[in-house]
Amino acid sequence: MTDSRASRHDNRTEAIMRAALDLALEVGYAKLSIEAVATRAGVGKHTVYRRWSSRGLLFLDAVLSLNTGGLSHPNTGDVVADLRETMNKAVNLLAQPPWGPLYRALIGEAQHDPEVAAALNRRFIEPQTADTLARLKAAKDQGEIAPDFDLGLAFDILSGPLYYRLLITQQPITDDYIDRVLQAVFAGMSPRPQTR
């Protein structure tokens, strides 16, 4: 592909993803259609289908094209403070448009489309999980977490309450709530004094 053709291809791809995001925010994902996206982007629907085989995969790429603001964990030597910072960033991202409603819709679509679920896991969930597990492992190596504590379980316990509130109860996830989750989790993960 020549540079001008590649640039035109990139511009069309960007326009299609932007149209998908705008329409999903306006009418909701349930009413999003390839035809409407193509019309909004000023392309034919075949142009959309050449890039994405389904509405769900288009939506996945569009949502993941948004900047997440950097959700990687710092390592200041205080695992609780580092987790709190990253959890607060994630909650702030998900609490407001565009990310919040779009991500909830994407999670909903993943429940019905195994291809979207697999791609979401591979491209977003697994990297976030790996980053958190790396931070927890560093904390374990530094003695902040009991040496026998299952880090995979720790991740599940840390993320479960947030997803529960985000997707099920839709209760607010406040700084205080995050602090309470961290306190509860670290009460069980902290190293225990050796008994003689």
pLDDT digit string, tens, across residues 59-111: 999 999 887 767 888 899 999 999 999 999 988 888 888 888 899 999 999 99
Q: What percent of the chain clears pLDDT 90, i.e. is strictly above it?
A: 65
Task: Find out whether 66 and 99 touch, Cβ atoms under 8 Å.
Answer: yes
Contact 115, 54 (CB under 8 A): yes
CB count within 10 Å of CB 40 equals: 16
pLDDT at 190: 63
Residue spans of the chain under pLDDT 50: none
Query: What pLDDT is stored for residue 50 in this prediction?
Result: 93
The size of the chain, in residues, is 196
- Tokens 């306006």 correspond to 26
Q: What is the pLDDT of residue 139?
A: 93
pLDDT of residue 148: 87
- Give the per-residue pLDDT at 146: 87
Phi, psi of 46 (to 5 degrees): -65, -30
Q: Is the pTM of this model over 0.85?
A: no
Domains in the chain, please, with CATH? 3-55 (1.10.10.60), 79-189 (1.10.357.10)
Asked whether the bond before 98 is cis by omega within 30 degrees of 0, the reply is yes
Both tokens assigned to 161 = 């309450």
Per-residue pLDDT at 66: 87
Per-residue pLDDT at 45: 92
